[in-house]
Amino acid sequence: MRSLFLGSFLALTAAGVANAEPLSRLKDLPCQSGRITNDDIILALAQQSGIVVDSSVLAPLNANRLGDHMVANLDQPAWRLFRGRVRDLISGGPSTPEEGLTASIANAPAEDRERLFVNRNNSWFVVQCESATNNTISARGGEGGPEPGAFARWVDGIIVAQSIKDADVGLSDREFAEVSYTDDRENDDEIISTNLFIGLPEVFGGRLRPYVEYERVTSDAKPINNLDFGLAAHWTSHRNANAYYLIAEYQSDDELDSEVNHVEFRWLPIWARRSCLRLSSPALSLRVTCPVEFTLDSTRVTDPGEKTALQTADSYDRYGFDVGLNLVRELDDGGSFSFKLSYNLREPFDTDGPGDVGLGRASLSYQPSEDSNFNIGLEYENGENVESLERMESLKLTFGFRR
């Protein structure tokens, strides 16, 4: 627990601010309740870049797709200039008030930031201004009241999702933390499952993130109980072509009976997160993504506790990958149905040693909007748990949450 408290203390210092120089381009925009709206900023930068703001711009803006439209038209100089001006505005750096404006960034995504901002996934960026009512707005988007203090900004930077790879992308691209229910009639057992990642604000210049992960299955026959305290370093390659994570975890359970030390390296090709196929017509809007990541990990078991599969495993070193296929059917009301297939594979370098894991999942879910904090769905999984190595198979009703 000591590492958790230390991470929480260090995280109090985490806060990003935006480069002030490009703010002069926004000085003539209206100030509403102490801020300039991000929609006004997007349209102003588009006009200043030579883009005619008509239905061809307003329609994708209102559909939260103008960022995708921008990326698709980067062969045109005006759209390249527009993206450059957006990048200048939302890039991190020292900030001082300019023309009565101050810009701030709180918990911004590390990847694909320009596209997400123009797609209206931009509550992490705020331009404050001097209005007649002298009101301000917090980084989470609420109007009125005083500017939030350090603790409020720290709380606002906490991320709830499914895993560490969701911490550095925009809300619409994050997987949901889940609570699920299974009625196991064969074994007369009602099972509650939890899969939760809590990412604390980044520390040391935004390169390290403390976090807590909790995975629990209350099955009498095959329980799973994983509580992890971790620290993740994250960086991207030139032009954001790839993302990398170096992770150190202290793995235990919610009674702190077990003790496992785990180190992992992950490589995520960022292009795989973007749409690998998109079909759009008046009758159908379908988006397909093909996520993939590659892993190397090393685990040392000090005390297996009640984790049966670890009791004969002192240590193991593995390589592996996670692959997926996600189909998103977008609805006219802004909601969507998602069908997802995924497979996780871990193979030990010692072919006769422990740690061999294969886990498949299939899920169908509904969420009311692209940036929704909630979803509901059905999920089937079959295989071994990646951490505790326990065998599992279930069909469950899931309730998801993210922030």
Amino acid 278: pLDDT: 66
Residue ending a domain, choose from 155, 186, 218: 155
For the chain, the average pLDDT equals 80
Q: Is the pLDDT of residue 204 over 50?
A: yes
Is 202 in contact with 211 (CB distance < 8 Å)?
no
Query: Does residue 1 lie within any of the structural domains?
Result: no
- 144/187 same-domain check: no
Encode pLDDT of 333-345 as tens digits.
Answer: 878 899 999 999 9
Query: Does residue 259 lie within any of the structural domains?
Result: yes
- The tally of domains found in the chain comes to 2
Encode pLDDT of 121-157 as tens digits.
Answer: 888 788 888 754 433 333 333 444 444 567 777 787 7
Structure tokens at 176: 């949901």
- 70/187 same-domain check: no
Stronger pLDDT, 276 or 212, i.e. the higher one = 212
Domain span at residue 102 reads: 12-155
Amino acid 383: pLDDT: 92
Specify the range with the lowest mean pLDDT, choosing from 58-62, 74-78, 156-160, 277-281. Answer: 277-281
Amino acid 399: pLDDT: 95
- 293/379 same-domain check: yes
Q: Is the dihedral of CA 170, 295, 337, 179 positive or negative?
A: negative
Specify the range with the lowest mean pLDDT, choosing from 158-162, 213-217, 287-291, 335-339. Answer: 287-291
Amino acid 122: pLDDT: 81
- 190/128 same-domain check: no
Q: Is the pLDDT of residue 319 over 90?
A: yes
106 pLDDT band, cuts 50/70/90, is: confident
- 249/364 same-domain check: yes
CA distance 247 to 230: 7
* Residue that has been written with the tokens 């070193």 in this structure: 317
CATH label of the domain that carries residue 259: 2.40.160
Q: In the predicted model, what is the mean pLDDT of residues 25-32?
A: 80
Structure tokens at 35: 């801020």
Q: N- to C-terminal Cα distance for the chain?
A: 24
Query: Does residue 6 lie within any of the structural domains?
Result: no
- 140/175 same-domain check: no
Q: Beta-carbon neighbour count of residue 220 at 10 Å?
A: 11
Query: Does residue 209 lie within any of the structural domains?
Result: yes
Q: Which helix (H) or strand (E) holds 340?
A: strand 336-348
Query: Does residue 3 lie within any of the structural domains?
Result: no
CA distance 249 to 261: 6
CA-to-CA separations, 275 to 163, 326, 338, 372, in angstroms, rounded: 21, 9, 14, 19
Amino acid 273: pLDDT: 63
- 281/352 same-domain check: yes
Residue ending a domain, choose from 123, 155, 187: 155
Q: In the predicted model, what is the mean pLDDT of residues 94-116?
A: 71
Strands (E), 187-314: 189-199, 208-217, 224-236, 242-252, 259-269, 275-280, 285-289, 292-303
Strand partners, 288: 277, 327
- 91/239 same-domain check: no
Query: Does residue 62 lie within any of the structural domains?
Result: yes
Structure tokens at 396: 């469950």
- 149/133 same-domain check: yes
Q: Is the pLDDT of residue 92 over 60?
A: no
Residue ending a domain, choose from 155, 171, 191: 155
- Kind of pairing between the strands at 242-252 and 35-36: unpaired
Query: Does residue 5 lie within any of the structural domains?
Result: no
Amino acid 398: pLDDT: 94
73 pLDDT band, cuts 50/70/90, is: confident
- 120/192 same-domain check: no
Helix (H, G, I), strand (E, B) or coil at 112: coil
The one-character DSSP state at 18 is B
- 243/312 same-domain check: yes
Is 192 in contact with 183 (CB distance < 8 Å)?
no
Q: In the predicted model, what is the mean pLDDT of residues 312-320?
A: 91
Write the CB contacts of 272 (distance below 8 Å, at least 6 apart in sequence): 289, 290, 291, 292, 293
Amino acid 246: pLDDT: 94
Amino acid 56: pLDDT: 79
Q: What is the pTM of this model?
A: 0.66
Specify the range with the lowest mean pLDDT, choosing from 9-13, 49-53, 68-72, 289-293. Answer: 9-13
Query: Does residue 2 lie within any of the structural domains?
Result: no
- 112/186 same-domain check: no
